[in-house]
Amino acid sequence: MAKRIDISGLTAYYGSHKAIEDISMTVEPRSVTAFIGPSGCGKSTFLRTLNRMHEVTPGGRVEGKVLLDDENLYASNVDPVTVRRTVGMVFQRPNPFPTMSIFDNVAAGLRLNGSYRKSELNDVVEKSLRGANLWNEVKDRLNKPGSGLSGGQQQRLCIARAIAVEPQVLLMDEPCSALDPISTLAIEDLIGELKERFTIVIVTHNMQQAARVSDRTAFFNLAAVGKPGRLIEIDETERIFSNPSVQATEDYISGRFG
């Protein structure tokens, strides 16, 4: 069950530093939304506000509303732990748990939440690893440590770990930035399959990737150095890449930026 996300008037701070300001947009269910924009404009920060991971950073603070199918994530009685089970996340750098085997890494979300049946576990792990296109490479060494995999394999392991808990939204922060073209392709194919079931948001610096995988694209930018990042525009990916309504977007996409 994928969910729609409605963001309105979202501002995020690191201590007294305002990183992003007044962002409003809608993320459609069962689709891929790409975030693009120059480094430091707050894409990761914004992404992390969508599953309440921003407040994990010391000094992290959020104002505004994020509605997940009409439920405000930032309402006072919402438990961030439940939010994060519903909205999963894959990080820029692969971060498998070093003390756990490949199997345990994928099973970690279920096991540590305590809500699973033993008989299911094998199936869930296999299904998630197949879903992340990793099963064939690791099926003979599920008990080996996860940190013994290559960087690309580790990243797919992290994706498998994230989808094993069956979230409804999957946030991916530059998931391919450390990968070779083949692994990248594998992950892009994977995103194409996952969007049948999940709502997917992906941050990327790769324009071709954004054009290939996403249905809608949002462009972020800084008004000036030291100013908070803002949403410039969000539209169908085809329009953003062919005929954006804002000049800055066109400049950025065509490389005439800065």
Ligand X SMILES: Nc1ncnc2c1ncn2[C@@H]1O[C@H](COP(=O)(O)OP(=O)(O)OP(=O)(O)O)[C@@H](O)[C@H]1O
Residues that bind ligand X (CB under 6 A): 14, 17, 19, 39-45, 57
Q: How far apart are CA 32 and CA 192, in angstroms?
A: 8
Candidates 3, 42, 44, 87; binder of Mg ion (CB under 5 A) is 44
Binding flag, residue 112, another protein (CB under 8 A): yes
Binding flag, residue 82, another protein (CB under 8 A): yes
Binding flag, residue 204, Mg ion (CB under 5 A): no
Binding flag, residue 203, another protein (CB under 8 A): no
Q: Give the nearer residue to another protein in terms of CB position, either 35 or 91.
A: 91
With CB cut-offs between 5 and 8 Å by kind, which of Mg ion, ligand X, another protein, none does residue 42 bind?
ligand X
Compute how many other C-beta atoms are within 10 angstroms of the C-beta atom of residue 115: 10
Nearest residue to ligand X, using CB? Answer: 44
- The answer to whether the Cα torsion of 3, 134, 116, 49 is positive or negative is negative
Binding flag, residue 3, another protein (CB under 8 A): no
Q: How far apart are CA 214 and CA 58, in angstroms?
A: 32
* Residues 178, 153 contacting (CB under 8 angstroms): no
Q: Check residue 190 and give left, alpha or beta (phi > 0: left; psi -120 to 50: alpha).
A: alpha
Candidates 42, 60, 64, 88; binder of another protein (CB under 8 A) is 88
Q: How far apart are CA 116 and CA 123, in angstroms?
A: 11
Q: How far apart are CA 240 and CA 243, in angstroms?
A: 6
Residues that bind another protein (CB under 8 A): 51, 53, 56, 58, 81-86, 88-89, 91, 93, 95-99, 108-109, 112-113, 144-145, 147-148, 158, 161-162, 165
